[in-house]
Structure 1
Amino acid sequence: MIEMNPLQKVKKCKTAALLAGALSLQGSAALAAAPESLPDYLPHAVRLPPQASYLDETGAIRIGGAEHAQFIIDRFNALFSASHPGLRFTDHIKGTTATIPLLTYGRMLFGPMGRTINNLELQAYEKAVGAAPLEIRIAHTSDNAQQEMSYSLGIYVNRANPVERMSACQVARIFSNGNPEGDLSRWGQLGVGGEWKERIIHPFGTPEYTGMGTYMQSEQLQGRTFASTYEQWGSTEAILKRLEQDPAGIAFAAIGRESATLKQVVIVSEDGRTETRGSRQDVSSSIYPYGRYVYFYLQRVPGQPLDPVAKEYLRMVLSRQGQQIIASQPDGYIPLTAAEVSTELRKLD
């Protein structure tokens, strides 16, 4: 059994120096301000489990998952290795769809994903392992969909459509079947008059088992099926191109894609007191309903403790220093709040 011997008590100035080194990997990244009052990272000694299956032939730790997390993963690895001499990581990014299969058979320590595990992945994982993987939120998704990252969603209509605002409940009643309050299928049901009153609503979005499709069904539609008139398209570009052709359409797609022909709908609260278009502040405070999360998935075997290296790594990610790394990426992911960090840390106990 290999034992790593980090300093048990690391002064704040020392930890800040390690973080500065991690942030300097690309030279232009500056030390970010602490997102909130979060716990400082004080490294604990960890032991690699004997014959850990996630080590490569050189003894380096494999990490897989979404390519869009590479910026923060590189800096997390640098900070963790600096505080745990002897632990090394190998570049093993394979893509989001490879995360759960690799994790299932212990071929990597954990995997970052810009979406939640879907039902097909979960069924296969549970059949092999006996329980669901541990899901840890590490950040909010970006509000800048121009980057190659996971992002918040926006609700769009054609600029010919007079609708400017709607609630998340109204959006759900348009996109799904079997709503307790009744489904919405004509624009007149949203208070539009004249020639729009009897126009049939045409909802557009991604297929069911894509990241956006899974998110909408699980988080916004409460598991209900998509409306019978729902059209499935493979990307934000294809969805919005279709919407440009149909004044009676409505779509969910990547945030921040307004154009001369399309407008992003303002989302109002059910009591009508707040309005939001998905700013970073509104995503962070959960005012905007279509802000998503970035996740780490860890293998959790029934009757066994979490892998000690994975647990220690997640403690670092959920510390002030770890969240500073997230905040340091220009137009990148949005750090968690103190309350969210506290919730995720409890999952590691």
Structure 2
Amino acid sequence: MLTRRDLVAIAGLMPLAAQAQAAPVALPGYAPAATVTGLIRTWGHGSRDRDILGGLVRDWQAAFARRQPGVRFETTLRGDATAIGGLYTGAADLALMERPPLAIELDGYQPIFGRDPFEVQVATGSLDVTDHAFAPVLLVHRSNPLPRLTLAQLDALFGADRRRGGAALRTWGDLGLTGPWAEQAVRLYSFAITDDTAQFFQRAVMAGSQKWASPLTEFDGADAGRRIAAALAQDRFGLALCGLQFSNPQLKPLALAVQDGGPFVLPARETVRKRRYPLTRAVSIFLDRQPGQPMPPHLREYLAYVLSREGQQAVERDGRYLPLTPELARREREKLA
């Protein structure tokens, strides 16, 4: 993990104090626009084996039901892969997901409804909580003097198509390091390219390309993050796509920037909460809504609650996802009109 000295050495980054846990969000409270009734069926992120985010969803539902006692809930959280299918088969009203729908999921949805599902973001992904849309980080060995990378550089390292432009980057000298580092190849480590984290990286960094540079050492399975970090700790010339929760004292995260001129931002709770860190993820609810038409009142009221002060305070209490900023919550509430 980075020391204070490490952080101060990286120019243009947030001070340490900014990494403190954010205060509760300042949002308007839930004010019902109407008394509503009906059944709300939610499918999506979760697992058959573990209750990943049922506590947060139950909190939302119980608090909403106290205000709208005519609304009932059925909840089936068995994974993102079930969510969009729940919508187009008519089994679900809401699809709760940590990622956008895949092309194959839209191939099932679009022929039935003639459009993409309607998206409302309801939380920000975590900094470092497994199974909670954690922000991917780029780790190097502590002995590596490189402090930062841009997304274009990452695309040129990990991507074969290099859709962000520029030549392939293959050595540490290509990234500006000199001396004994200059001629050393950058050895790449990652989650398996079918993993949700790698799929997010494809969209956010590789501009949707599915062609990864070779050689790439992939790790699969529940302990993939730990094994990536362990391998990198033994390889001073490695660069790993990983999660901060898997890091160890032999490694350090790099600051990232969307543009060449920065700002370069380290992964930290505050930079993720404010979505300043470029690889921050979002948690969304998808539903069917015809363009220009109002959504069913009971769904609109429920989503209004989730985006209210009380709904986002539930996210804060749960402590795994991060609440939306007031500005993001306002933008998402405007979608409900």
TM-score (norm 2): 0.81
Does residue 174 (structure 1) correspond to residue 157 (structure 2)? The answer is yes
TM-score (norm 1): 0.78
1:209 and 1:118 map into 2 onto residues whose CA distance is 12
| RMSD after superposition | 2.6
Which amino acid in structure 2 is aligned with residue 348 of structure 1?
A: L
Which amino acid in structure 2 is aligned with residue 35 of structure 1?
A: V
1:208 and 1:300 map into 2 onto residues whose CA distance is 32
Query: Which residue is 1:193 aligned to?
Result: 178
Percent identity for Structure 1 against Structure 2: 30
Instruction: Say which is worse superposed, 237-246 or 288-297, in terms of deviation.
Output: 237-246
Confirm or deny: 8 A CA contact 1:155 1:265 kept in the other structure. Answer: yes
2:172 and 2:227 map into 1 onto residues whose CA distance is 23
> Could you list the per-position Cα deviations for residues 88-117 of structure 1 after superposition, in whole angstroms to 9, with x for gaps in the alignment?
223422222211111221212212222222
> Could you list the per-position Cα deviations for residues 72-94 of structure 1 after superposition, in whole angstroms to 9, with x for gaps in the alignment?
21111011111111222234222
Does residue 63 (structure 1) correspond to residue 48 (structure 2)? The answer is no
Relative distance call for 1:304 and 1:276 in structure 2 (3 A) is closer
Q: For residues 143-158 of structure 1, what are the structure 2 equivalents within 5 Å?
A: 143-145=127-129, 148-158=131-141
Confirm or deny: 8 A CA contact 1:103 1:111 kept in the other structure. Answer: yes
Does residue 213 (structure 1) correspond to residue 192 (structure 2)? The answer is no
Does residue 230 (structure 1) correspond to residue 223 (structure 2)? The answer is no
Query: Which residue is 1:23 aligned to?
Result: none
Bigger CA radius of gyration: 1
1:167 and 1:281 map into 2 onto residues whose CA distance is 20
1:236 and 1:186 map into 2 onto residues whose CA distance is 24
Confirm or deny: 8 A CA contact 1:140 1:293 kept in the other structure. Answer: yes
> Could you list the per-position Cα deviations for residues 237-271 of structure 1 after superposition, in whole angstroms to 9, with x for gaps in the alignment?
34334434443321212224321332222335746
Instruction: Say which is worse superposed, 182-191 or 119-128, in terms of deviation.
Output: 119-128
Query: Which residue is 1:279 aligned to?
Result: 268
Query: Which residue is 1:129 aligned to?
Result: 113
Confirm or deny: 8 A CA contact 1:268 1:275 kept in the other structure. Answer: yes
Unaligned runs of 5+ in 1: 1-31, 50-54, 56-60
Confirm or deny: 8 A CA contact 1:138 1:295 kept in the other structure. Answer: yes
Query: Which residue is 1:344 aligned to?
Result: 332
1:171 and 1:337 map into 2 onto residues whose CA distance is 28
Query: Which residue is 2:88 aligned to?
Result: 104
1:165 and 1:33 map into 2 onto residues whose CA distance is 28
> Could you list the per-position Cα deviations for residues 204-233 of structure 1 after superposition, in whole angstroms to 9, with x for gaps in the alignment?
223444321221111222223322333433
Instruction: Say which is worse superposed, 267-276 or 286-295, in terms of deviation.
Output: 267-276
Does residue 35 (structure 1) correspond to residue 25 (structure 2)? The answer is yes
TM-fit CA distance, 1:47? 4.8
Relative distance call for 1:81 and 1:214 in structure 2 (3 A) is same
Relative distance call for 1:242 and 1:256 in structure 2 (3 A) is same
Query: Which residue is 1:313 aligned to?
Result: 302
Relative distance call for 1:279 and 1:33 in structure 2 (3 A) is closer
Which amino acid in structure 1 is aligned with residue 166 of structure 2?
A: E
Which amino acid in structure 2 is aligned with residue 290 of structure 1?
A: L
1:71 and 1:312 map into 2 onto residues whose CA distance is 20
How many corresponding residue pairs? 305
Confirm or deny: 8 A CA contact 1:33 1:324 kept in the other structure. Answer: no
Does residue 78 (structure 1) correspond to residue 78 (structure 2)? The answer is no
Name the SS of the counterpart of 2:149 in structure 1: strand
1:310 and 1:218 map into 2 onto residues whose CA distance is 29
TM-fit CA distance, 1:298? 1.3
1:308 and 1:183 map into 2 onto residues whose CA distance is 52
Which amino acid in structure 1 is aligned with residue 104 of structure 2?
A: L
Which amino acid in structure 1 is aligned with residue 305 of structure 2?
A: M
Query: Which residue is 2:322 aligned to?
Result: 334
Instruction: Say which is worse superposed, 194-203 or 268-277, in terms of deviation.
Output: 268-277
2:24 and 2:247 map into 1 onto residues whose CA distance is 32
